Amino acid sequence: MVRLNYLDNLKVALTFLVIFHHAGQAYGDGGEWGYTPSNPAEVMPWIWHFFSTNAAFFMGLYFFISGYFIPGSYDRQGFGTFVRKKILRLGVPLLLMGGLLTSATGKVEIAHMWFVESLLIFSFFYAVVRKRCPAISKDCDSRPTLIGLFIAALVMGIGSYFIRQESPQDHWISLSIWTFEPAHYLQYVMMFVLGILAYRFDWLDKMTKTTGVVALLIGGALAIGNYVRQDGEWNDFVWQWFGIYESLMCVFISFGLLWLFREKVNMGNKALSWLSAQSYGAYIVHLPLMICIQNMFDGVWMGAFGKFMFVGVVSTVLSFAFTWLLRLLPGVKRVL
């Protein structure tokens, strides 16, 4: 297989973004978090813009990239090997980290591992479907177009709009061991499926410069529109239709970034390969490491923004380094 360096590099960038997103949650209204600063001055009221824009696309893009690699993996391995490897790669970290977080909190808790759990469910579902149905033929001239992206975003947005009438954003549901946020779940399912189709129809190679550039510009404009909204008519409009607005951000930012990384960040070297190899493990281990760092430096005044950046940088470095050390242990590379 040809290594797609730009997808590896994009996954690394998304991992950095996830870690910094979580680093900011203690210093703004980012939902329930396992640490609260003892100094009430360590707060950044503006950071909700950062949270809102990130949440619009970054986990959806994670699911897209994961979905992209699923069909080829199944084609090479077959049902049995595919399922066993997904249990090892996804199920084992889920059980270990879930057990650690549950022991630490005294209640059943998987926190950020909801992504791994959902990806495991999606992978099993794909395997069951493929066992009964043949693979989609690649004999199709389909390619990403701006109209196609808009239609996908509109379907996602209308569905999300109605889901949010019953289950607003940041409302999480736990059904036995399945934890999910209904407001974003349609986005995740659709992006995973789009990733599968992108592999089958070779969409990433077929995406034209015009489609990529315009998608990036539209996504960037929507992100700016989300950052600048405060109180007023624009904020009221975006908030009323946020399920649709966010879905447009998701699709256009995601495909814009896929094109940008394909054209401008499609390189490989030892440093980038090292980062890519550790990125999955860094996602898994970063949260407990981060909370330890936040508690250790709780009494050190750096200003709210300074503390946010400090925690983000240190957590990122330690997460990647700790993953590298773990992967030196026999057998760990098969999991992480």
Residues contacting 218, CB < 8 A, separation 6+: 248, 252, 256
Average pLDDT, whole number, for the chain?
A: 94
Residue type, 168: P
Q: Which of 12, 3, 7 is nearest to 277 (CA)?
A: 12
Token digits of residue 186 = 């349609």
Sequential DSSP letters for 134-167? PPPPS-------HHHHHHHHHHHHHHHHHHHHHS
The residue segments making up the domain with residue 213 are: 5-171+181-334
How far apart (Å, rounded) are the C-alpha atoms in residues 120 and 297?
35
In a domain, 196, yes or no: yes
Angle at 266 between CA 113 and CA 272, to 5 degrees: 55
- The angle formed by the CA atoms of residues 302, 18 and 83, to the nearest 5 degrees, is 150
Residue 30 has pLDDT above 70, yes or no: no
Query: Any residues with CB less than 8 A from the CB of 29 and at least 6 apart, and which?
Result: 45, 48, 51
Instruction: List pLDDT tens digits, range 91-150.
Output: 999 999 999 999 988 888 899 999 999 999 999 999 999 999 888 877 778 899 999 999
At 279-325, the pLDDT tens digits run 999 999 999 999 999 999 999 999 999 999 999 999 999 999 999 99
Residue 176 lies in a domain: no
Domain count, the chain: 1
Q: Is residue 286 part of a domain?
A: yes
Domain contains 276:
yes
289: in domain: yes
Using one digit for the tens of pLDDT, what is the confidence trace for 208-219?
999 999 999 999
> Minimal CA–CA distance to 11: which of 55, 45, 62, 60?
62
